[in-house]
Amino acid sequence: MASEFSELASQVLSQDEIESLLQQFAGTSDVAAIEEQVSSGKAPAAILQQAAAPGPTGLRRNVKLPRINFRVPAYLKRRQLRFLEVRTDQFARQLTDRLSLYLRKEVKIELSEFETLKFDDLKARFEGPHYFAEIKVEGFPVNGFIQIPVEMGLLVIDRMLGGTGEKFQGKGGLTEIEVVLLDQLVGHVMDQWALIWEDLLVCRHRIVGHESEIGHLHITSGLNPVISSLFKLRIGTYEGEFRLVFPAVFWEPILSRVNETILARAQEQGEGSEFNNEAMMKLKLTIKAKWEGHQMTARELGAMKPGDYIYFNRSQASRTTVVVADLDKFIGLIGEADGKRAIQIEKVIESKKPNE
């Protein structure tokens, strides 16, 4: 009896032996690996019997199960993302025309990034003071937001109030009046955004809140995916970037109306056709003409009185500059046509790029 008890006791593992074996074989249930340890005398035979024994379902516990991450967010399909990217790029090109007319100054807007990422990852990208406007679109499940750096906002406000719209150092925050003016700008931006989608859905939008830090926005949880569109804006010599951000779930009403034919066309052809905005095409622009290069002294100008003449060289008549909405667009020759004063266009003035 004593010998049988001793043999049985030798098969029982102490707590220290159990913890040591669990640590040694953590992450695996491969019986072959345990057999090697037993044959070399590094582990008792009891652990081999335990590992080789059938489990509750009758299966041997020697199968390695793959690790599955159940917290990976459900991103949109590639075709759906391509469709949204094409429309967003189209929106950027049309917004260029609209803001150029609204600010009466040449504006260039390009889509520089279109990406899907977790909301927490997006928060880490913002530094310095910003203007965040939370946007609600009727019929959509969640809200989005537009982000504008304070410096860019102040620059645009300066132009809206009749300034030159050139780069200058911004302040640490915005006043209530400046926020109201930026809300008007966002209204124009979102109006153009709504026009891009009007063939699928009517998008009535409004601003429902403002923040100066993205951490105060609660449009979705930190682990949920959002679609971020980064736009590069150039106005005069200034260059900056602003974002339009919507959670992935926001796009459900739009994507539910998109069929496979539209998705395929967006993916294969890129929908290169221009968006036709009839309302903008009917806007009337102010056209002016000016002559360059004539000089007079301060004494001569101070002596001018009603009835006097200012004489220009004949050569200046052939270099008349035509100004459209405060932008120099053409150079031509002034004269008469059909009994009216007219300017014959001889040259188109190309738009200057920043830092040229």
Q: Which amino acid is at 115?
A: E
CA–CA–CA angle 156, 161, 162 (5° rounding): 100
Whether 308 and 203 map to the same domain: the answer is: no
pLDDT band at residue 238 under the 50/70/90 scheme:
confident
Residue 73, φ and ψ in degrees, nearest 5: -70, 155
Whether 153 and 294 map to the same domain: the answer is: no
Q: Which domain holds residue 228?
A: 78-281
Has residue 227 been placed in a domain? Answer: yes
Whether 269 and 321 map to the same domain: the answer is: no
Has residue 65 been placed in a domain? Answer: no
pLDDT one-digit tens code per residue, 204-218: 999 998 888 888 888
Helix 150-160, helix 78-103: angle, nearest 10 = 40
- Mean pLDDT for the stretch of residues 328-344: 81
Whether 134 and 222 map to the same domain: the answer is: yes
Has residue 166 been placed in a domain? Answer: yes
pLDDT band at residue 271 under the 50/70/90 scheme:
very low
- Evaluate if residue 172 carries a pLDDT over 70: no
Has residue 133 been placed in a domain? Answer: yes
Residue 231, φ and ψ in degrees, nearest 5: -115, 140
- Evaluate if residue 134 carries a pLDDT over 80: yes
Whether 39 and 159 map to the same domain: the answer is: no
Has residue 163 been placed in a domain? Answer: yes
Has residue 318 been placed in a domain? Answer: yes
- Evaluate if residue 313 carries a pLDDT over 70: yes
Of the CA atoms within 13 Å of residue 139, those in its CB half-sphere come to 10
Position 275 scores a pLDDT of 42
Q: Domain ends where: 262, 281, 300? A: 281
Percent of the chain at pLDDT > 70 equals: 66
Q: Domain ends where: 281, 303, 333? A: 281
Has residue 113 been placed in a domain? Answer: yes
Position 9 scores a pLDDT of 52
- Evaluate if residue 242 carries a pLDDT over 90: yes
Position 318 scores a pLDDT of 72
* Strand-by-strand arrangement of the 340-348 sheet: 287-291, 320-324, 327-337, 340-348
pLDDT band at residue 192 under the 50/70/90 scheme:
very high
- Mean pLDDT for the stretch of residues 159-178: 74
- Evaluate if residue 353 carries a pLDDT over 60: no
Which CATH number does the domain housing residue 142 bear? Answer: 3.40.1550.10
Which CATH number does the domain housing residue 322 bear? Answer: 2.30.330
Total domains present in the chain:
3
- Evaluate if residue 32 carries a pLDDT over 80: no
What is the chain's mean pLDDT, rounded?
Answer: 75
Say how far apart CA 95 and CA 195 lie, in whole Å: 10
Q: Which of 29-33, 272-276, 333-337 has the highest mean pLDDT?
A: 333-337
- Mean pLDDT for the stretch of residues 136-141: 92
Has residue 59 been placed in a domain? Answer: no
**Please, are residues 51 and 61 in contact by the beta-carbon 8 Å criterion?**
yes
pLDDT band at residue 272 under the 50/70/90 scheme:
very low
pTM of the model: 0.56
Whether 95 and 47 map to the same domain: the answer is: no
